[in-house]
Structure 1
Amino acid sequence: MAADVDEPANETVRLLWGQPAKPTRGPKPALSLERIAAAGIEVADTEGLGAVSMQRVAGLLDYTKMALYRYVPGKAELVALMVEFAVAEPPAGPADGHWRDHLATWARELTRSFVAHPWLLDATVGPRVMGPKELAWLERVVSALDGHGLTGAERMDAAVLLAGHVRGIVQQARAAGAEGSPEARLLTILSGLVRQHADDYPALAAAMAEPGGRDNALDFGLARILDGLAALIERRAARP
């Protein structure tokens, strides 16, 4: 019974980390995992992850769905393959650079990946097998914070915290669509109400009336996260 439960994960590991099984019958394989992933990415980029199916990808490649199954066992493995090929290469690990600069670059580059392929937000949730490239993103944060007094769990939690901030910002931007940034849209919606009821919400009215400094949630939140990590690192360094 346990073997049945683990089978999908084993298939994903095989595709992402091992040698893919090759058809033993018929003509020489004409498809590659990269071509298959690229077709799935094309569908997801234009229509969303929900539009991706084995049938749709097979048709885009001019193959039958049964032929596609000879390379990829099912949709779950197909999506895992798409993630691995769609996610950008992580920024190079720290050499002489400061850990803070590296993590800031890391967060901004991750943002670019999610903006380029918004469906990645949906495809990278929950417990799942990560491919070599995606796991390298986690490696970069953990290695950048190595030697600064943080435990292994804390270094990994820092990566989760940074990724969560990026995901939240990109999710809001996706919800806003082409009509503008989520912060700008929210201000547009609320500004009239706040002005009309300024006596009830004086602090909010004053804050919204101040010029400049808006639509900067990504960098503001990123800076505060890094400030918190810096404070923790300084406290650890000050220990006797």
Structure 2
Amino acid sequence: MDESELPRVLQQLWGVEGRNRPGPKPAFHISDIARAAIKLADAGGLGAVSMSKVAAELGFTTMSLYRYVDAKDDLYVVMLEHAFGAPPVLAPELDWRGRITVWAEAFRDGLRRHPWILQIPVQEPPLSPNQLAWMESGLDAFDGTPLTPQDRLSAMLLVNIYVRGTAQLTANMLTEPDAAQEVDRLYTERLTMLATPDRFPAIAATLEQPPDEGYAGDFDAGEFAFGLDTVLDGIQSRIDRLDG
């Protein structure tokens, strides 16, 4: 495949566009566009991002932006590439479970820093440098296991889907520790009042357990770890069957 067949935004991200491009020297770099768009999204959500607003943030006209990105979808590609950055370094002394846990937690942290990422529609598999590096890192986490290449891809996607799902569930909750703790406290009190044993016995039983055994009021931490462990238990079962 010829490099020219790649979309222009990918050519720029991979550094293969504009090597012999005629005309004046570019006024800014594709990374400048990314930083401006991310700044707008972090402040006002994805709805605050438009070609005109990004151009204004850079101090240029909207038309000048079209020399770099053809449409808003291209702008999203650039934003995702720079919002996540490079994947975490997976320590070789960790087993596969430890490595994919580090990967999943780093992915979760990226979504926490930029929750607007969850609003970007996933229309095609990733092709930008950092996005492919994340994919490669997730696959590498399963080195040393009997999983086939396709199994590793499926396992990595399963973890990816789990992380995105939990992040989506908590995306609109307050992120400040004190405020989040207050929300948890109020929710627990109200749930205890409403979920009576005669009407909601399963919920009530959970609330009646000691804090270290039942609902601890910290979904974002406790439930994420529980769910991830359960997902990894399933992958371990598949590994055990292949080993057997």
TM-score (norm. length: structure 2): 0.83
Which one-letter code corresponds to 1:85 in the other structure? H
Is 1:106 equivalent to 2:107 in the alignment?
Answer: no
Is 1:73 equivalent to 2:70 in the alignment?
Answer: yes
Deviations 1:118-140 (A, max 9, x none): 11112262324431111111211
Change (3 A) 1:83 1:169: same
Compute the displacement of 1:95 (Å). Answer: 2.1
Structure 2 residue ranges without an equivalent (≥5) = none
Q: Secondary structure at the match of 1:177?
A: coil
5 Å matches for 1:45-194? Answer: 45-93=42-90, 95-123=92-120, 125-178=122-175, 180=180, 184=184, 187-194=188-195
- The percent identity for this pair of structures is 35
Compute the displacement of 1:200 (Å). Answer: 2.8
Change (3 A) 1:136 1:201: same
Distance 1:88 1:67 in 2: 26
Change (3 A) 1:128 1:12: farther
Detail structure 1 runs of 4+ shifted over 6 Å in the superposition. Answer: none
Structure 1 residue ranges without an equivalent (≥5) = 1-6
Task: Please report the RMSD computed on the Cα atoms of aligned residues, expressed in angstroms.
Answer: 2.6
Compute the displacement of 1:212 (Å). Answer: 2.0
**More off after superposition, 212-221 vs 92-101:** 92-101
Change (3 A) 1:88 1:189: farther
Distance 1:226 1:32 in 2: 41
TM-score (norm. length: structure 1): 0.85
Change (3 A) 1:205 1:49: same
Contact between 1:149 and 1:236, CA under 8 Å: does it hold in 2?
yes
Q: Secondary structure at the match of 2:228?
A: helix
Deviations 1:96-119 (A, max 9, x none): 321111111111111110001111
Contact between 1:107 and 1:162, CA under 8 Å: does it hold in 2?
yes
